[in-house]
A = this chain, B = another copy of it.
Amino acid sequence: MSATVKNLGEQGLLKIFRQYCSEVVGDDAANMGETLPDHQMVVTTDMLIDGVHFSDRTTSPEDVGWRAAAVNLSDLAAMGAKPWSLVMAVGLPADTAIAWIEGVYRGFSECLRTYGTELVGGDTVRSPIRTLSVTAFGQVHKNQIIQRHTARVGDAIVMTGLHGLSKAGLELLFNPELKEKLLSPLKIGERILAGGELVQAICRYHQRPVPRFDTIAVLHKILKHQNDFPISGMDSSDGLADAIAQICRSSQVGAKIFWRSLPIHRAVRTLAGDRALDWVLYGGEDFELVLCMPIELAKQFVNQLSSAVIIGEIIKGNQIDGLEMRSAFQHY
């Protein structure tokens, strides 16, 4: 039988935690220093529960850790912020395998390293259910904050990458027999894949979401010599349709979607059949950014960022043409 948290004791658990934590002093609170000049701090928090947000059936401990970091970092990217640091509180049953929690910390740290940030504090408590609660801090120049209530009539609506692939990955993980539908090789990112490699690549869209800090860097590059920062938006964690609807509601505008420009990946078409558009609009958890900006800027942006696509336009009113307003995630 493998070693459990109960065997290890609280001090042992703390020792493992500290291997992944950059703060070693161990005071009551972690010291994070000052904000950068002219920058503001933004903060976001997400709780992940075993059986609700992850499951041993679909997610390795490393992937649970990666996801716990990535969903929070995506919220920072959506505000146009650079990551500053994170804290993670963990609730664990006494019979949790040590290997599981080590895997979680490993995946979490891998994500943090990838995006140049670090874990500075946490808490470890006993709980009947495995629970992770992550809070992430970012910094953003006070003139470069991206919010959802500032979209303007005439703005182009841009999405930073494909939608529906996270849902496709989740479906493959729950229903492995679906892989028999993937008969021919498909292009995923820059590569053409088939068979097990193709299945794995699609599953990774669900298991390893990517916070789109790269798109923020592109925006800053384009806008370098401009005083104005005419960008609004949010991430698409609750679905592409939800993101468009939230931006429109907050900004008191409507939207026209360019349905013919909306890309649907062949893997989504193959797996979802006639529900393909549903997966794209309502599948959720793609963690792309949905950004609104003047059309000239949008053209430069999609030119510089090959994954980005102009999918619509902000219009007067409060309607989003052809979009059925149902939410991807109704948690209760």
Q: Tell me the complex Cα distance, A125–B52, Å.
A: 9
Does A293 count as interface, using CB distance less than 8 angstroms? Answer: no
Does A250 count as interface, using CB distance less than 8 angstroms? Answer: yes
Does A9 count as interface, using CB distance less than 8 angstroms? Answer: yes
Q: Per-position contact with B for A45-81: 1 when CB-CB < 8 Å, else 0?
A: 1111101110000000000000000000011101101
Q: Tell me the complex Cα distance, A235–B74, Å.
A: 34
Q: A9-B332, A42-B31, A332-B94 are in contact. Are A49 and B89 (CB under 8 A)?
A: no
B contact residues around A6 at 8 Å (CB): 332
Check B29–A138 contact: CB distance below 8 A.
Answer: yes
Q: Which of A6, A38, A147, A149 gathers most chain B CB within 10 Å?
A: A147
Check A43–B148 contact: CB distance below 8 A.
Answer: no
Does A244 count as interface, using CB distance less than 8 angstroms? Answer: no
Please give the distance in Å from A20's CB to the nearest CB on chain B. Answer: 15
Check A25–B332 contact: CB distance below 8 A.
Answer: no
Contact partner of A131 (CB less than 8 A), chosen from B9, B47, B94, B138, is B47
Q: A41-B34, A45-B133, A89-B133 are in contact. Are A125 and B29 (CB under 8 A)?
A: no
- Per the 8 Å Cβ criterion, residues 116-136 of A in contact with B are 120-129, 131, 133, 135-136
Q: Which of A81, A87, A127, A133 gathers most chain B CB within 10 Å?
A: A133
Q: Which of A44, A136, A330, A332 gathers most chain B CB within 10 Å?
A: A332
